[in-house]
Amino acid sequence: MKNKAWGGRFKASQTTEFLEYGASIGFDKKLAEFDIIQNMAHAHALKKAGILKPHELNKVLKGLKSIFGEIGKGTFRFSVADEDIHMNIERRLKEKIGPLAGKIHTGRSRNDQVATDVRLYVRENSRKIAALLIQLQKAFLAQAEKTVDDFMPAYTHLQQAQPVRTAHWHLAYLEMFRRDEARFAAVAESANISPLGSGALAGGNFNLDREYRAKLMGFAGVTQNSLDGVSDRDFALEFCFAVSVLFVHLSRLAEELIIYSSSEFSSVVLPDEFCTGSSIMPQKKNPDLLELFRGKSGRTVGNLMNLLTILKGLPLAYNKDMQEDKIPVFDSAEQALMALPLAAQLVKKMKFNKRLLETRLDEGFLTAVDLADYLVMKGLPFREAHHIVGAVVKECEEFGISFGGLNLADLKKHSPLFGRDVLKTLDPKLSPDRKKGTGSTAKAEILKQIKRLKKEF
């Protein structure tokens, strides 16, 4: 038992099967570089407190830098016998600098050590994801600039509803991913507080400067309660929640594009680079990337539920259950980091079928609201106007015509308030520019939004 950091308390050895079952190095090795950063900061604090002499600090830092290099090159040997990433690095440091490595854990517990490492991981990956989200937003913005003068039907209940400029659709998804960007920036700030110095749960017996270590690691400050410091995983929950919402947005985008690119709609042409074929049907072009976005949304939502369930019944402070908290965090991060560059490329290369979409404008009675509002502007209460236009639609359906097939006499049968100017109201391409207010589909408003967004990016 001497080879275990905690072995002095035990007479009998743990079974091999139990130790293998309890080892976390298979997944927490992803924290390796963050653990070294944290070890370096801790070593500087040990020197500041007089626990390490200057030449000892130099030796420790040299050893840690060497290990950092091994990890980067992929030559570091991870061992299940060392349980976790912390003991793997300490073991390797001892191999490099001898017994001096035994001083590195002075005034520190693996409880505050792992809490610090995971915060570093979440902070870095939140910032990476936020940066990738900016690129995705730029892809939508570029598409919006190209499609300001294009039109398409927008839907509610997957039924044609009102005409919009195609740029408006692109800007809608930009807004979704803009909120995601802000969410990840907030998660990075939430994680940006150091628990190092909390010890196992009560703090430490050595005068080690917590603020100094936090500053060395780039943290904005330190946690204010040691018991909470080692127990808190709110930042990890927030991270998994942010990834879940991101994938809900990707899934909604995927669902729309899968529908729009189907042969029944043919509204969007997807780039070949992100589709596959069939092993039996030569004609198939399957939207696999989009289907993966949609499918992986369940995976990331599952990661959030996994972490919530792990934490929901835990007493303070650290419990071995928390070993499992890293798996959903790591997987969520990796899924987001892989998906976002692909999403940006797909958005850049996809094309809307402009001609077909314009023919669709004459279907579905898209200017029905405009027709009702026309009557309102003539003094009719909206509910009465709504009823009249509903009757017009019903009559059109009975005769198998669209609004474009109506003349003034047809409309006057339903209300004497209809005048000759009403025929312009039926034109779906004129409808978007009647819309007023910030965020509408009117061309002037879309151009204003594009100008603002280009400045912000």
Contact 116, 109 (CB under 8 A): no
Element at 86 (helix H, strand E):
helix 85-97
Element at 349 (helix H, strand E):
helix 326-349
From CA 37, how far away is CA 64, in angstroms rounded?
Answer: 9
Catalytic annotation, pick one of 278, 279, 297, 431: 278
Contact 170, 119 (CB under 8 A): no
Q: Both ends of the chain: CA-CA distance in Å?
A: 58
Catalytic annotation, pick one of 157, 231, 261, 414: 157
Q: Can you say whether the dihedral through the CA atoms of 244, 245, 250, 254 is positive or negative?
A: positive
Q: Give the residue from 354, 450, 441 showing the smallest Cα distance to 150.
A: 354
Contact 175, 381 (CB under 8 A): no
Collapsed DSSP state (helix, strand, coil) of residue 156: strand
Count the neighbouring beta carbons within 10 Å of the beta carbon of residue 198.
29
Question: Which tokens is 6 given?
Answer: 């905690």
The packing angle between helices 166-191 and 110-146, to 10°, is: 160
Query: What values do phi and psi take at 222, rounded to 5?
Result: -125, 155
Question: Which tokens is 370 given?
Answer: 């405009």
From CA 445, how far away is CA 417, in angstroms rounded?
Answer: 31
Contact 165, 351 (CB under 8 A): no
Collapsed DSSP state (helix, strand, coil) of residue 223: coil
Residues 6+ apart with CB under 8 A from 32: 71, 76, 85, 88, 89
From CA 312, how far away is CA 353, in angstroms rounded?
Answer: 49
From CA 237, how far away is CA 99, in angstroms rounded?
Answer: 39
From CA 118, how far away is CA 330, in angstroms rounded?
Answer: 10
Task: Based on the residue annotation, tell me whether 278 is a catalytic residue of this protein.
Answer: yes
Alpha-carbon separation of residue 413 from 382, 388, 406, 407, 419 (angstroms)? 19, 10, 11, 11, 12
Query: What values do phi and psi take at 453, rounded to 5?
Result: -65, -40
Task: Based on the residue annotation, tell me whether 157 is a catalytic residue of this protein.
Answer: yes
Active site residues: 157, 278
